[in-house]
Structure 1
Amino acid sequence: MSNLTFDEGINRVNVRTAGIIRRDGHVLVVREDDDDFVCLPGGRVQRGESSLAAIHREMMEELNAEIEAPQLKYVIENFFWRYGKRFHEFAFYYEVEPPAHVPFVIDGVCQKGEDDGKELSFEWVPFSANHLCRVNLHPIAMRTRILSLPEAFEHHTVVDPEY
């Protein structure tokens, strides 16, 4: 299958799903290769796949974890620049229970992985807004939204001022 990512010149439409995995005041983040930012574990939704099916697939691919009953918390339309592309991203964020086999190590990388030939480094970081700024969590819109999750899902539109 192909990812739901479409380019037209410098414009990119992207559909993504990610897991909000919290444990004892920390959230699991991932860094791809040597990026200068981290994000929540997940990836692109594929053509013909629901965001729910995609979060299950992505957690298996990235963390080798079968997850149960992920809860949709946010749908965020995000407009931003990255990699010389002008993104319009639709992102589905699910609350996911911490996989039992992912070590809870709060000082550095807790697990390594690989996805599409890129090295992934996972780590638990405190989910205070101040700390998430220091680890450069992207999208920026999630830095405060993971502090307190809503009961029902919420839809937000976020436009980077430089978009």
Structure 2
Amino acid sequence: MSNLTFDEGIERVNVRCAGIIRHEDHVLVVREDDDDFVCLPGGRVQRGESSLDAIHREMDEELNARIEAPQLRYMLENFFWRYGKRFHEFGFYYEIEKPVHVPFEKGVCMTGEDDGKTLSFEWVHNSPDALVEINLHPFAMRSRLVELPQAFVHECVIDPDY
């Protein structure tokens, strides 16, 4: 299958899903190779795939985790620049219980691979200040992770540089 990503010149439309995995005032983030930012674990939704199916597939691929009852907390329409492209990203963010086999320890707690790139997973303190320090993308999630809404929230977020 192919990803729901469409390019037209410098414009890119992207559909992504990610897991919000919290444990003891921390949140799990992932860094791809030597990127200067981290994000929540997840990836692109594929054509013909629902975001719910995609979050199950992505957690299996990245964390080797079978997840149960993910709860959609946010759908962000996010506008930002990255990799020389002007993104319009539809992001589905699901709250997920910590998989039992994912160790809760300082530093890199797990590594993996995705499309030939190395993934490093790490628990970071779940506070806006700590998330700014580690350069969490999208920026909009920095303030939204500490207290999750009980019901689904849809928001449009435009980064200042857009």
| Residue equivalent to 2:10 | 10
Letter in 2 for 1:134: E
Q: Secondary structure at the match of 1:89?
A: strand
Shift of 1:81: 0.2
Q: Percent identity?
A: 76
Equivalences for residues 90-129 of structure 1 within 5 A: 90-105=90-105, 107-129=106-128
| Residue equivalent to 1:22 | 22
Show structure 1 runs of 4+ deviating over 6 A.
none
Unaligned 5+ residue runs, structure 2?
none
Equivalences for residues 1-163 of structure 1 within 5 A: 1-105=1-105, 107-163=106-162
Please tell me the root mean square deviation across aligned C-alpha atoms, in Å: 0.4
Q: Secondary structure at the match of 2:142?
A: helix
Instruction: Give distance in 2, aligned partners of 1:134 and 1:102.
Output: 23
TM-score using structure 2 length: 0.99
Deviations 1:21-80 (A, max 9, x none): 000000000000000000000000000000000000000000000000000000000000
Unaligned 5+ residue runs, structure 1?
none
| Count of residues in correspondence between the two structures | 162
Instruction: Give distance in 2, aligned partners of 1:162 and 1:150.
Output: 27
Shift of 1:162: 1.5
Q: Secondary structure at the match of 1:151?
A: coil
Shift of 1:110: 0.1
Instruction: Give distance in 1, aligned partners of 2:115 and 2:132.
Output: 27
Shift of 1:161: 1.6
